[in-house]
Structure 1
């Protein structure tokens, strides 16, 4: 096959003769394995892995990668095993082939679940060896180039998947050429009519603007020569997908998108980049807010360049990129530039630090997520990063996606910092954890040793790393807490039936677990804590005629300490505090919710003996609780300050405050942090001593 000889000829320019011989052997082996198989276009199947290997050859990838590319479908589509590939071509090649192969032999409930698991496996292999994704991206690129033979439904599904997953991964890894071609092809097959209209419009505009582009190129070239800069200047037409997204994002028509051309200036060193920038700014006026210095602060994928948008002739905006030849090489080839122009003996640890960090975050997301669709959600979030650069207190720059909060920053520092964060200081000022971060912010995280992730964080975190760690913590820690609480609830129910919990044997438990359709005793106990099973019902089903409890054992209340975690919640309607008479209600999927006995909400609800539990406060409670009070005071200047000062003197914090005034009086609602009823009474006595305070009440509903 002529393409095979082209591959061997092209790779012989940088590979050793024995490596080219291995490629030839791999090609012949793959040709034999795929014998009799044809692509939908009618071509022999071997033409596909051959094309994939040639794409990777342009990146000067090593022999094992190209060998694996030639064999990447052998395990999936033929009877050849991974062990046979390992024996003939070595374990590294076999591992690469295995990483690329799909999970065809496992049954899934839905196509989405199957594809999500495929991505999960591929990216786990990629995190171990980035060459896996390079093969997969080349595989996808050739499939997209030949997508026209598929039916329209498949075209759109594959194109959408390419735009959502593969193109962003290529971008994240800095593979600019592959990224842009995947985007263009994805756009072409996702929106065929829009693509055709834009092709026609750009062809018409190209003729009108060719003269302008030539004029700009000549002017730039002349200006740079004036200061003695040796530079290569090129003009490029922006890609259709980039133009289309600009039209969508900014609600523009094609005629309103003026900057469809960009210009690139390549110079010898970094200092020349800034000299060239100054010269260009003196030639054409820069547009305010349209300058980015990716040399001082590189992108996550190692990309470096100066970007500036200038107002060119006839008021046309022109986008300028200024970089060195080395920066240009990295910009075009990303992680693959590690192999380009280097020997095949180099190791793979010399990747850009940010790329390595992202690959490591993938491993963490994989280990923290048991659900493939959930992992894919994390991946999609992380594949669309913005340009938010923030600083640690020590001055280290951290890059986060646009929309990140202080919680995302905390998890980016370390998972332990995220799990224990309680507050943030942004630019020296206290700020809520949900505060959106902006480029240039200096962020400091305040932690507490007993703090835990809050489920509400999931509603505003932006990074997959943060989301993965929060979900992992909630799933595992909440489960352990639920099991312990469920056991206490069941023991109380058994004692109420005069049954000693210690007399329940394993046989009875095994029967109950089997009849309940759960996997284990712990799962059943956890379901009780979360309100999915009622302790009284479980106790009745569990008990057969058993020995009664001794006289000393009675069904006492469940002790509440306030440190039970997420499985015990304190109702916001009445905000119970130690010293209040309380009652527990089992609420499905929420666990045990504690109310005061006189709470209006439970007084109006229909009581069920199965859902209500007898609870009581424990001794030596150390945590604080929220109490809601309403203070009515004469509407005078400084009254709020005096009230706040008295609260602080009584060693209480104000969590929230709301005020309203009707002229003569101001009504202030406070949520305070208190230890117990005695502490609250002390605060109220202090407030009553203020001359202008007319009335104070505690709000319980």
Structure 2
């Protein structure tokens, strides 16, 4: 007896008559309000589905399980089918009397989710979790009960799929972010969580038509922003394409309908061309003795819309609405087929991509080529093997990461495992759920660049990633200590954007540390979270020390001793929101509190308590406020203003900027003068220290004759003057054939800069040199 014959069948129960009461605040899907847990037993009925009545009062419907039973019987043992049947009965009993807004019994939704999971041939635990995925959220079933009935693995999967409805959040956005964080972290531990969740979201999107327009738009936007990128990142291309089109249809219904009509019309108009190409390709491959399946494929409506939108094209200008897919038996024949096609039609230059040699981050492998077909029409071909085709359609669902068999992990599994592990790394370094979701969404990009380490290892990064992203992708310590990079053996800034095929080498120094400026040009979530984590932890101690120094100066200015007795500190803390003096010092250091205002508050406390034993100075005018000493190595709590880039030897002033600490300007900076007028109380006296063991950025502009070798001569002179060039920008030559070159160079002080400028001035072709300000 085969498995299908011995398999126990699943049965469905009719929903009891209830009054529909749709929940307008449901997070997703077209669900009705859940009813209280019922003690009624399920009653078996025929598994043939009947059309549900859409009456607003009484709903009667039958959920069919015949399709699910047939699909599971194809690959599950009778013992596994028995476990699935138990999960189904429990879910059916828990959802008894609950209906969807469409009028169908609610149990039809878990059945549909399980059917989608069965198409991927997920194991028995995942199918059981699909059937049970809403019982904790809707019917208050506890995890302990699921563990007792179905075991810990199934209960953990269901728990990972359940939202955090019982927790109170400050906003819906915060609640949504926390739900996503929980789901993604559960997914990082077991990828089946996201597979079931994507199946759940797919069925909800398929049945979204009954929802209100506002709710359709909100759920569709959430799908497009989070679930579509996750499906693509995991290589689930069928789900990815369908979710895109469904979300598009609800976000822009008019555009969707218009494009749909245009595609149907084009389908008829281009049928002759498509058939002609199809026949020619089959004959060519047969003559080359290549066995292959050849079939046409149509671009998704959303794919057509994006191409029209991004490239400002009309529908008639989108020529590759149709393409062809060729599936061959083995790796070598994919390249043989490519050669045969290129002999049949001429390839378009620059339109060939080899994703077999270098797969996409989600494991996708194919050869892509665009050829000039009959009548001059561009036609795209995708060539792949059967195994590549299976991975292209099912992605990570084709390989199981949750099996303890690390020794046989495929490249796809290793890349997916690394990405899932990065979710856990980001979680450790992230402050809150919204920030976590922000970092994760940054990594969910459909396009990637592929670069090489010096040892020829391939690293995939999101398009737009920089050398600094590369450093953090290798290791957090490499990123934190990066000071420079070489791309293709040429020195370039860390902010340089990477291109396919680049060979990237990172130069580190134990004295290098992340700066807030790094956040402006990193692209990956891992890099952003690591930098923010460092800034939060390191900036704290530096800001505390700066705040302590500023408060001491402010206390002296109001004729008080900076050494505060414990009784006065207690009194100050009782009247403020701070829990400790260190918190007050930190707030002063980052600009959240004004040192002068805190000092005046302390003075008021002393004056209000006359017998308070506190030493005061005799004549406050005999003391003047000492300036804060700047060494340039204070870290993040002291920043040199980018508008004027002061260097030792310049007169300087300090601005206490909210959440940024102390910003140092040149005393002749025009920007600083305008800021001083707006907030005069936020300015303090600062001065340079005597021993400065670092270099400082400054900008110079050189006007030079536009001739070969001019830039090289100037750069060489700067190097010989013991200065480093961190940035160069050249303007186009003017009418007098003169070019303006802007350098950012690192110098020791103003005297060093003057010596460099004198040396450059003496070079041939240089007509003018000046220091740039503002």
TM-score (norm 2): 0.81
Contact kept in structure 1, 2:449 and 2:461, CA below 8 Å: yes
Q: Which of 615, 639, 654 is equivalent to 1:548?
A: 615
Q: Which of 181, 187, 201 is equivalent to 2:248?
A: 187
Shift of 1:31: 1.1
Distance 1:137 1:691 in 2: 67
Shift of 1:292: 1.0
Within a 5 Å distance, the mapping from 1:4-153 to structure 2 comes to 4-153=65-214
Distance 1:228 1:33 in 2: 59
Q: Who is 1:594 aligned against? A: 664
CA distance 1:46–1:525, change in 2 (3 Å) = same
Within a 5 Å distance, the mapping from 1:439-518 to structure 2 comes to 439-497=500-558, 499-505=560-566, 508-518=568-578
Q: Who is 2:587 aligned against? A: 527
Contact kept in structure 2, 1:137 and 1:170, CA below 8 Å: yes
Is residue 694 of structure 2 the alignment partner of residue 623 of structure 1? yes
Distance 2:761 2:279 in 1: 82
Shift of 1:359: 1.5
Q: Which of 212, 232, 256 is equivalent to 2:293?
A: 232
Aligned-residue RMSD, C-alpha: 3.6
Contact kept in structure 2, 1:498 and 1:548, CA below 8 Å: no
Query: What SS class does the counterpart of residue 516 from structure 1 fall into?
Result: coil
Q: Who is 1:396 aligned against? A: 457
Deviations 1:348-396 (A, max 9, x none): 9835222122222222333332233333333333222314222222222
Q: Who is 1:584 aligned against? A: 654
Shift of 1:679: 4.4
Distance 2:327 2:121 in 1: 22
> Which stretch of the first structure deviates more once superposed, 327-336 or 259-268?
259-268
Q: Which of 272, 277, 280 is equivalent to 1:219?
A: 280
Shift of 1:12: 2.8
Q: Which of 624, 628, 640 is equivalent to 1:570?
A: 640
Query: What SS class does the counterpart of residue 435 from structure 1 fall into?
Result: coil
Q: Who is 1:437 aligned against? A: 498
Q: Who is 2:303 aligned against? A: 242
> Which stretch of the first structure deviates more once superposed, 289-298 or 578-587?
578-587
Distance 1:687 1:160 in 2: 57
Distance 1:612 1:476 in 2: 26
Query: What SS class does the counterpart of residue 446 from structure 1 fall into?
Result: strand
**What is the number of residues matched between the two proteins?**
698
Q: Who is 1:210 aligned against? A: 271
CA distance 1:443–1:602, change in 2 (3 Å) = closer
> Which stretch of the first structure deviates more once superposed, 541-550 or 286-295?
541-550
Deviations 1:567-613 (A, max 9, x none): 11224565444455544332333321234566666678459885343
CA distance 1:682–1:167, change in 2 (3 Å) = closer
CA distance 1:576–1:307, change in 2 (3 Å) = closer
CA distance 1:654–1:292, change in 2 (3 Å) = closer
CA distance 1:24–1:216, change in 2 (3 Å) = same
Distance 1:691 1:178 in 2: 65
CA distance 1:510–1:147, change in 2 (3 Å) = farther
Shift of 1:266: 1.3
Shift of 1:160: 2.0
Contact kept in structure 1, 2:366 and 2:383, CA below 8 Å: yes
Query: What SS class does the counterpart of residue 565 from structure 1 fall into?
Result: coil
Shift of 1:304: 0.8
Contact kept in structure 2, 1:369 and 1:375, CA below 8 Å: yes
Distance 1:309 1:327 in 2: 20
Deviations 1:411-454 (A, max 9, x none): 22222222222222222222232222221222222223222223
Distance 2:640 2:215 in 1: 52
Is residue 740 of structure 2 the alignment partner of residue 673 of structure 1? no
Shift of 1:10: 2.2
Query: What SS class does the counterpart of residue 185 from structure 2 fall into?
Result: helix
Query: What SS class does the counterpart of residue 395 from structure 1 fall into?
Result: coil
> Which stretch of the first structure deviates more once superposed, 681-690 or 223-232?
681-690
Is residue 722 of structure 2 the alignment partner of residue 651 of structure 1? yes
Uncovered stretches (5+) of structure 1, i.e. residues with no partner: none
Is residue 397 of structure 2 the alignment partner of residue 336 of structure 1? yes
Contact kept in structure 1, 2:184 and 2:423, CA below 8 Å: yes
> Which stretch of the first structure deviates more once superposed, 394-403 or 685-694?
685-694
Contact kept in structure 2, 1:635 and 1:661, CA below 8 Å: no
Deviations 1:131-161 (A, max 9, x none): 1100100000111111111112111221222
Query: What SS class does the counterpart of residue 691 from structure 2 fall into?
Result: coil
Distance 1:429 1:257 in 2: 40
Uncovered stretches (5+) of structure 2, i.e. residues with no partner: 1-11, 13-46, 48-63, 607-611
Query: What SS class does the counterpart of residue 65 from structure 2 fall into?
Result: helix
Contact kept in structure 1, 2:114 and 2:127, CA below 8 Å: yes
Within a 5 Å distance, the mapping from 1:626-641 to structure 2 comes to 626=697
> Which stretch of the first structure deviates more once superposed, 54-63 or 311-320?
311-320
Contact kept in structure 2, 1:63 and 1:344, CA below 8 Å: no
Query: What SS class does the counterpart of residue 593 from structure 1 fall into?
Result: strand
CA distance 1:265–1:514, change in 2 (3 Å) = farther
Contact kept in structure 2, 1:76 and 1:101, CA below 8 Å: yes
CA distance 1:95–1:649, change in 2 (3 Å) = same
CA distance 1:223–1:502, change in 2 (3 Å) = same
Query: What SS class does the counterpart of residue 494 from structure 2 fall into?
Result: coil
Deviations 1:605-641 (A, max 9, x none): 4598853434444453211224567889999999988
Q: Which of 372, 376, 390 is equivalent to 1:311?
A: 372
CA distance 1:550–1:332, change in 2 (3 Å) = same
Query: What SS class does the counterpart of residue 352 from structure 1 fall into?
Result: helix
Q: Which of 530, 534, 537 is equivalent to 2:597?
A: 537
Shift of 1:261: 1.9
Contact kept in structure 2, 1:495 and 1:549, CA below 8 Å: no
Contact kept in structure 2, 1:503 and 1:546, CA below 8 Å: no
Q: Who is 1:355 aligned against? A: 416
Query: What SS class does the counterpart of residue 353 from structure 2 fall into?
Result: strand
Shift of 1:15: 2.0
